[in-house]
């Protein structure tokens, strides 16, 4: 039985579906719900313009997490929020291990093979490297 569920969100169209699935799983198993968003480090620190852009990204990420917490609460759930920096796949796996999660739930937009090779797939990385059960939410047909 899952005692801690980690929902990884990225602001994509599947984010609300991920939250709905996570709230349902948490409710069914009486589990704690944690929601994580990872800001990918794609910038160098230093100049003022970058620092302002980073601050904007962090504010946007915090807003996303707050709205997903509100979404979870609207569905009858409670959630602990985690805002992390780094490679999304690595950080999601690290977070799952760090909170001792029993399940990770995240979305997959179903990228083509070429896009997956070029951009990488966070969901594939997590499924492959995470030591706990992983549920991947896909778009409806």
**Torsion sign across C-alpha atoms 74, 86, 137, 133:** negative
Cα distances (angstroms) measured from residue 119 to each of 4, 77, 112 = 30, 33, 10
Backbone φ, ψ for residue 106 (5° rounding): -150, 165
Total domains in the fold of the chain: 1
Band the pLDDT of 10: cuts 50, 70, 90: very high
Q: Which residues form the domain of 66?
A: 4-137
3-state secondary structure labels for all residues of 6-58: EEECCCCCCHHHHHHHHHHHHHHHCCEEEEEEEECCCCCCCCHHHHHHHHHHH
Cα distances (angstroms) measured from residue 86 to each of 26, 58, 121 = 27, 13, 15
Please name the residue that has the structure tokens 């970058």.
Answer: 50
| Digit-coded pLDDT (tens) for 38-87 | 998 766 666 777 777 878 888 999 999 999 999 999 999 899 999 999 99
CATH of the domain at 129: 3.40.50.620
Q: Which of 37, 79, 82 is nearest to 61 (CA)?
A: 37
Q: What is the pTM of this model?
A: 0.86
């Amino acid at each position: 039985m899952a005692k801690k569920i980690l929902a990884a969100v990225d602001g994509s169209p599947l984010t609300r579906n991920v939250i709905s699935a996570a709230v349902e799983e948490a409710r069914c198993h009486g589990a704690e719900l944690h929601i994580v968003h990872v800001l990918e480090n794609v910038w160098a620190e230093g100049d003022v313009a970058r620092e302002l852009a980073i601050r904007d990204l962090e504010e946007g990420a915090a807003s996303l997490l707050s709205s997903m917490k509100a979404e979870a609460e609207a569905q009858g759930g409670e959630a602990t929020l985690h805002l992390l920096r780094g490679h999304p796949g690595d950080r999601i796996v690290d977070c799952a291990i760090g909170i001792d999660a029993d399940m990770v739930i995240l979305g997959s937009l179903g990228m083509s093979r070429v896009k997956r090779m070029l951009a990488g797939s966070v969901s594939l990385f997590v499924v492959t490297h995470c030591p706990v059960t992983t549920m991947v939410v896909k778009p409806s047909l």
